[in-house]
Structure 1
Amino acid sequence: MNELTHRFRPWFWLIIVALAFGAYWCVKPKQSAQEFIESTKPAAAGAQQEAQLENAWVRVWKVSFAKGESLDFKKHDGPLVVVPLSPGQFTRTHTTGERIVVDLEPGQAYWYEADPQGTRVRDSLDATHTVELMVVELQPDVIKAWAYYKQSKMED
């Protein structure tokens, strides 16, 4: 190797790494500012949220609540299916004051509609032990496609 090639070799690899990073940045799924903020918020003490699956159709995560634990207020723009893995009493409290209380049976699926516009909910569990739930949420594009489909059927 001549001296010129040897001198520019570190720059060559730095440029290759920068191009690879740039290519990754361009093709990775985009995230809105609100989604980024929500994803960086830590779960409430004792409540663990673990992503299980995310694709174009659904987002699935496992939530573990310690005894009497609750999650901070949040908004679900789409409907949810909640499948408890252990028994407990599940309470959803809306900012409007409405409360929904359900005695959870392990393995039973529970359907929750999207939260009304302008409201948020707090989920809490009353149990003498840790309660685990699987939560399945439809992706926003699936919800929009379903709404469009229903609208087109009504026009026919």
Structure 2
Amino acid sequence: ERNSMSREFMFENDFAICWKTTVPPHMPLKMHRHDRARTIVALQGGVLKRVDEDGSRKDLVFDTGKAYWYEADPPNNLHADVNEGDEDVVVIVTEFKTEDERNGTRDARADCGCGSDGPCDCRSKIGLPFKLPDGWQPPTTKRDG
């Protein structure tokens, strides 16, 4: 039995960032927020208990194979998620970048290093060579404004 969650980066482009999260039983995720609207697809369903910093609680029910839409979290609102079941909950999270973010997105082709004989075509690829550092996670502090 795992004793901590895992997060695996899938891809990032001008429009979205995507990762897979595995939440083991009885292991709370640390307080965090989602600044962007997102879809969640349950690869292995279950129920996560969302606990907001004000103490309010809500069950998030994920049926295996189903997709769900969530708006961005309210400003200055952190929450934690807890899998109170006995099996892992595995989800794919895709956050959609805002128009402002899209206008300022870095050109990943310039710094990926995958092309040895000239520019690469990374934007047409999903997954590698886009890799985030070990320990990457969504923001865990409140945003300003």
Alignment correspondent of 1:65: 23
Does residue 89 of structure 2 align to residue 107 of structure 1? no
Give the unaligned 5+ runs of structure 1. Answer: 1-44, 146-156
Q: Is the 8 A contact 1:57 1:142 kept in 2?
A: no
Q: Deviations over 1:114-137 (max 9, x none)?
A: 111111111222221122110110
Alignment of 1:7-156 (within 5 A): 45-141=3-99
* Bigger Rg, which one: 1
Higher relative contact order (CA 8 A, sep 6+): 2
Shift of 1:142: 6.0
Tell me the matched-pair count: 101
Change (3 A) 1:142 1:64: farther
- Tell me, what secondary structure is at the counterpart of 1:85? strand
Higher helix proportion, which one? 1
Deviation, 1:144, is 8.0
Letter in 2 for 1:65: V
Spell out structure 1 runs of 4+ moving beyond 4 A: 142-145
Distance apart, 1:143 and its partner CA: 7.0
The 8 Å contact of residues 84 and 109 in structure 1, kept in 2 or not, is answered as yes
Instruction: Note if contact 2:11-2:18 (Cα within 8 Å) is conserved in structure 1.
Output: yes
Shift of 1:60: 0.5
- Assess if the C-alpha contact under 8 Å between 1:62 and 1:135 holds in 2: yes
Structure 2 letter corresponding to 1:137: E
Long gaps (5+) in structure 2: 104-145
TM-score normalised over the length of structure 2: 0.62
Q: For residue 8 of structure 2, give the secondary structure of its aligned residue in structure 1.
A: strand
Structure 1 length-normalised TM: 0.58
The alpha-carbon deviation at position 97 of structure 1 amounts to: 2.5
Q: Distance in 2 between matches of 1:125 and 1:114?
A: 21
Identity of aligned residues (%): 27
